[in-house]
Chain A
Amino acid sequence: MRLEDDRQQLIAQARGALGMSAADVDDAARRFAARLELDEQRGGWRSAPEFAPMVRTWGRVMLLGAIGIAVVAVTMARCPLYERAITPPPVTDPTG
C-alpha cells in the first residue's frame, strides 16, 4: 500500500471515531444551555472592576475586627483571674 493512501485511510477511520450524529449535537447543545443557565445563576465575572463595594466590605470587616479585639483586650486587662494568671508565683525558700 502507498504511504499516502495509508495516511488517508487512517485519517478517514480516525475521523469516523469522532463522528457525531445530529442527536449527539442536540445533546451537547442541551448540556451547553444548562451550563450557561447555571453560570448565570452563580453570577459571572463583571466586565468592569467595582472597587467601592470591595473597599466598603473590607472597611467593615477591619472595623468590626478592631472593635472585637479591643473588647477582648480591655476585658482581659480588668479580669481578676487574668491578673492572677500573669502574676509570678511567690518565691518560697525550699530550705524552710
Chain B
Amino acid sequence: MIAPPVALDVALAFREHYPFVLRALVGLGVTPIDADDVAQEVFVVAHRRRTQFDPSRPARAWLYGIARGLARNRRRMRKDESLDVLPVAPGIDPESAAAQGQALSLALRCLDALSAKLREVFVLTEFEGLTAPEAAIVLDLPVNTVYSRMRLGRERFDAALAKVRAREGVGVR
C-alpha cells in the first residue's frame, strides 16, 4: 500500500526558514530590495506544491531548491539592477547600518566574481554557516564536490576582495 503524501506545514516552515530563504536569495544575486518579495513567492510556491514535499529530506533543502529557481528567473529579468538601494535593519544606529550596507554591497560585488555553482556553495557555507555535509544535503551534491567548491569559492572571493582592497589602498596579506 502506498502511504499518503505528507504535506509540509508551510506556515510553520515560514517562521522557521524565512530569514534563511531571504539571505540565500540575496546571496544568489537577487537585489536586497527585491528579496522580501521573492522570499514570499518562494513560500507561495511551497504552499502550492506542499503535497510534493519529500519528508525524508530537510524542508530547508526543498525551500532552497525553489528559491534557486526563482532567483534565477528574477536575475534574468533584472540584469541591470543596481545594488545601491539596501534595506536598513531596524534598531541599528545609522552609522552601523551604513557600514553594514556597504559591507553587503561589497560582499555581493565579490560574489559576482564566482560562478553560479561556486556561489551557491560559498553562500551556504560562508554566509549561512552550514557545514560541508549539510550543504551537500541542501544542494544534493557529493560532500567532496562541496569541499572542492568551497576551496575554489574562497580563493575567487578572496581574489576579488584583494582587488577591491588594493584599489582602496588597504593592505591585506
Tell me, yes or no, whether A binds B. Answer: yes
- In the complex the two chains form, what is the Cα distance from A32 to B16 in whole Å? 14
Q: Assuming A28-B18, A32-B43, A36-B44, is B158 touching A14 (CB within 8 A)?
A: no
Choose the segment among A15-23, A62-70, A72-80, A83-91 that binds chain B (4+ C-beta atoms closer than 8 Å). A15-23
Q: Are A18 and B40 in contact (CB under 8 A)?
A: no
A1-34, CB < 8 A from B: 1-4, 6-7, 10-11, 13-21, 23-25, 28-29, 31-33
Chain A residues packing against B (C-beta within 8 Å): 1-4, 6-7, 10-11, 13-21, 23-25, 28-29, 31-33, 35-36, 39, 44-45
The contact size tier of chain B is: 35 or more
Q: Are B127 and A15 in contact (CB under 8 A)?
A: yes
- In the complex the two chains form, what is the Cα distance from A53 to B97 in whole Å? 56
- In the complex the two chains form, what is the Cα distance from A25 to B19 in whole Å? 7
5 extra A-B contacts, CB within 8 A, seeds A10-B103, A14-B127: A2-B173, A17-B32, A32-B11, A35-B44, A44-B48
A36 proximity list for chain B (CB < 8 A): 44, 47
Chain B residues packing against A (C-beta within 8 Å): 11, 14-15, 18-19, 22-23, 26, 32, 35-36, 39-40, 43-44, 47-48, 86-87, 89-92, 96-97, 99-101, 103-104, 106-108, 110, 126-127, 154, 157-158, 161-162, 165, 170-173
| Leading 8 A-B pairs by shortest Cβ distance | A13-B103, A17-B100, A14-B107, A17-B104, A14-B104, A16-B100, A20-B19, A14-B103
- In the complex the two chains form, what is the Cα distance from A94 to B172 in whole Å? 101
Q: Are B40 and A15 in contact (CB under 8 A)?
A: no
Q: Are B90 and A24 in contact (CB under 8 A)?
A: yes
B19 proximity list for chain A (CB < 8 A): 18, 20, 25
Q: Are B173 and A3 in contact (CB under 8 A)?
A: yes
A32 proximity list for chain B (CB < 8 A): 11, 14, 40, 43-44
Please name the residue on chain B nearest to A19 by beta carbon: B89
- In the complex the two chains form, what is the Cα distance from A49 to B125 in whole Å? 42
Please list 30 pairs of residues, one from A and one from B, whose beta carbons are closer than 8 Å in the complex, sorted by A's number: A1-B172, A6-B165, A7-B157, A10-B161, A14-B104, A14-B127, A15-B23, A15-B127, A16-B103, A17-B86, A17-B87, A17-B101, A17-B104, A18-B22, A18-B35, A18-B104, A20-B18, A20-B89, A21-B90, A24-B90, A25-B18, A25-B19, A28-B18, A28-B36, A29-B14, A32-B11, A32-B40, A32-B43, A35-B40, A45-B48
